[in-house]
Amino acid sequence: MIHHYLINAVRRMGINALGVCAGFGRASWFLVQSLTWGKGFKAPFSRLVFQVYQLGVLSLPIILVSGLFVGMVLALQGYHILVGYGSQEAVGQMVALSILREFGPVVSALLFAGRAGSALTAEIGLMKTTEQLSAMEIMGVDPLKRIMAPRLWGGIICLPLLNLMFCVLGIYGGALVAVDMLGIYEGSYWANMQGAVEFYDDIVKGTIKSLVFALVVTWIAIFHGWNAHPTSQGISTATTATVVQASLAILALDFVLTAVMLGGF
Amino acid sequence: MDNYVELKNLTFRRDGRLIFDDISLQIPKGKITSILGPSGTGKTTLLGLITGQLSPQSGDVLVDGLSVPNLSREALFELRKKLSLLFQSGALFTDMSVFENVAFALREHTNLPEHMIRDLVLLRLENVGLRGAGQLMPSQLSGGMARRVALARSIILDPELIMYDEPFTGQDPVSKGVLVTLIRSLNAELSLTSVLVSHDVEEALSISDQVYVLSHGQVIASGTPQQLRDSDDTELKQFLFGLPDGPVSFHFPAKPLVEEVLV
């Protein structure tokens, strides 16, 4: 009896492992196909611009408001910690480094996954459910090039730009609290920041993180839409999976990228 | 070559369920061929196999002499430019107007100037009686109108083969009559080969040159509409004349009612 259960457990593990490998294989093939525009497809630039508007411009309100509040909270928390050491003048550099290195790329990517990622999955899932993708295939138009590629590239372009805007608003939010509310000298807020922030180590590396998150989040979002069961529950499940998996991927990749960039391993 | 589509000893399983068991059939060029059968017999699946969206486990699907399961992705998309499928749902692009839906394939596959695209689209919309509806969005159309727009879209590139998936389902008698007339007239005027998948027996038989009836993964009857009407086959009669019980059981397989209810 126990022998029978063990065999079954191993069998189930094998089936699940094969399923995961097959899923990764399909997702990788999907990514490679979607990254290339393909020859003969019309007006790729106008489609890309439209997606930049849909994914980027329409995400601006949530990104800008969040950036502002994250910066304000960081300044408030940082001030109350630093004041104990008499180092409250360093709040500017603390806010800037925290936002440029971590909060900017990670929080903007999490917000992007929730706002744009879920919308992408739902849109593509609904197109699948209403047979619009099949109709396109039958007309000899490859949906991977026509639908997926502009969205994937739109996401890759938008998120790093949204991250930079998040960082700018965060730093200004920090100044609003530190300088205008808590009375830190404006010169030291900006001068300490200028002295501490390195263009390559902080801004470029933060942007690289954001670029990686953009690829992964958009890939997960469009793949789940493409792979959704063509039912209302299927779309709901796919949308949830996008937000959960993209968020976990962002946090896990953030650790890996930070470790690599700091050279800690 | 007299046949535009040939299915040769085709076997197809999905999720462990046998859909087609070694079936063969031929769709002759320039004719209207109907594939009939009860719901769930895989009629729509058959269209998926012809268009290469599904691959059989064994056997072959020849379309215009090409083996569809063995085509590369690029070659398959090239072949599909000659095919067209009218989906049961219409499958119109919901973010485009009626005009843009019909113009879609022209814009994707040709470099025609805008005025020529406009003229071609208007001509096709005129064919289906909807020239005045060009600026409407799909959400503003009735079911019958949506089906006609989808029909105009599916013939815009002058396909060689057009497949209709349950074109009469959910249509009122007037819309059904319009669709029957359109299918017949388009087939003649554009020299198309047409495949009609349906369980609306009367409408399908009235316009078909040849009919196949599928059931339990097999072709149970084929011939002209008159040959089918004259057949003595009990399963075929049950389907053609809509008898509630017969070889195709009314009840889904289950334990005897007494065992299930009184225990």
Contacts of B8 (CB under 8 A, 6+ apart): B24, B59, B60, B61, B62
Better pLDDT: A42 or A131: A131
Better pLDDT: B252 or A16: A16
pLDDT band at A58 (very low <50, low <70, confident <90, very high): very high
The model's pLDDT over A106-150, given as tens digits with 9 standing for 90+, comes to 999 999 999 999 999 999 999 999 999 999 988 888 899 889 999
> Is A135 close to B109, i.e. CB distance below 8 A?
no
Closest Cα in chain A to B51 = A138
Of all residues in chain A, the percent with pLDDT exceeding 70 is 96
CA distances from A113 to A55, A64, B208, B235 (A): 10, 15, 52, 55
User: Which pair of structure tokens corresponds to residue A225?
Assistant: 């839409």
pLDDT tens digits in sequence order for chain B, 263 residues long? 588 999 999 999 988 888 888 899 999 998 999 998 877 788 889 999 999 989 999 999 999 999 999 998 889 988 988 899 988 888 999 989 999 999 999 998 888 999 999 999 999 899 888 898 889 999 999 888 888 899 899 889 889 999 999 888 877 788 788 888 888 888 888 888 999 998 888 888 888 999 998 888 888 888 898 888 888 777 777 777 766 666 666 567 777 777 778 76
Question: Residues of A with CB below 8 A from B105's CB?
Answer: 139-141
Judged by a CB distance cut-off of 8 A, whether residue B117 touches chain A is no
> Is A132 close to B85, i.e. CB distance below 8 A?
no
| Nearest CB partner across the interface for B83, out of A41, A138, A146 | A138
Q: Residue B17 CB: number of other CB atoms within 10 A?
A: 9
Instruction: Tell the residue number behind the tokens 């600026």, with chain if given.
Output: B135
Closest Cα in chain B to A136 = B105
**pTM of the entire structure?**
0.82
The model's pLDDT over B156-215, given as tens digits with 9 standing for 90+, comes to 988 999 999 988 887 778 878 888 888 888 888 888 899 999 888 888 888 899 999 888
Question: Residues of B with CB below 8 A from A135's CB?
Answer: 85, 87, 91-93
Taking the CA of residue A132 and the nearest CA in chain B, the distance in Å comes to: 5
Judged by a CB distance cut-off of 8 A, whether residue A36 touches chain B is no
Question: Residues of B with CB below 8 A from A141's CB?
Answer: 77, 104-105, 108-109
Region A209-230 average pLDDT? 95
Region A202-208 average pLDDT? 94
Nearest to A239 by CA among A253, A252, A215, A222: A222
> Is B94 close to A132, i.e. CB distance below 8 A?
yes
pLDDT over 60 (residue A6)? yes
Taking the CA of residue A158 and the nearest CA in chain B, the distance in Å comes to: 23
> Is A137 close to B53, i.e. CB distance below 8 A?
yes
pLDDT over 60 (residue A214)? yes
Region A162-174 average pLDDT? 96
Facing residues of B86 across strands?
Answer: B164
- CA–CA dist B195, B208 (Å, integer): 9
Amino acid at A44: P
- The distance in angstroms from the start CA to the end CA of chain A is 47
> Is B77 close to A142, i.e. CB distance below 8 A?
yes
> Is B93 close to A41, i.e. CB distance below 8 A?
no
pLDDT band at A44 (very low <50, low <70, confident <90, very high): confident
Taking the CA of residue A128 and the nearest CA in chain B, the distance in Å comes to: 10
Q: What integer pLDDT is reported at residue B217 of this predicted model?
A: 84
Q: What share of chain B is helix, strand, coil (3-state, %, to 5)?
A: 40, 25, 35
- CA–CA dist A107, A74 (Å, integer): 13
> Is A139 close to B84, i.e. CB distance below 8 A?
yes
Judged by a CB distance cut-off of 8 A, whether residue A42 touches chain B is yes
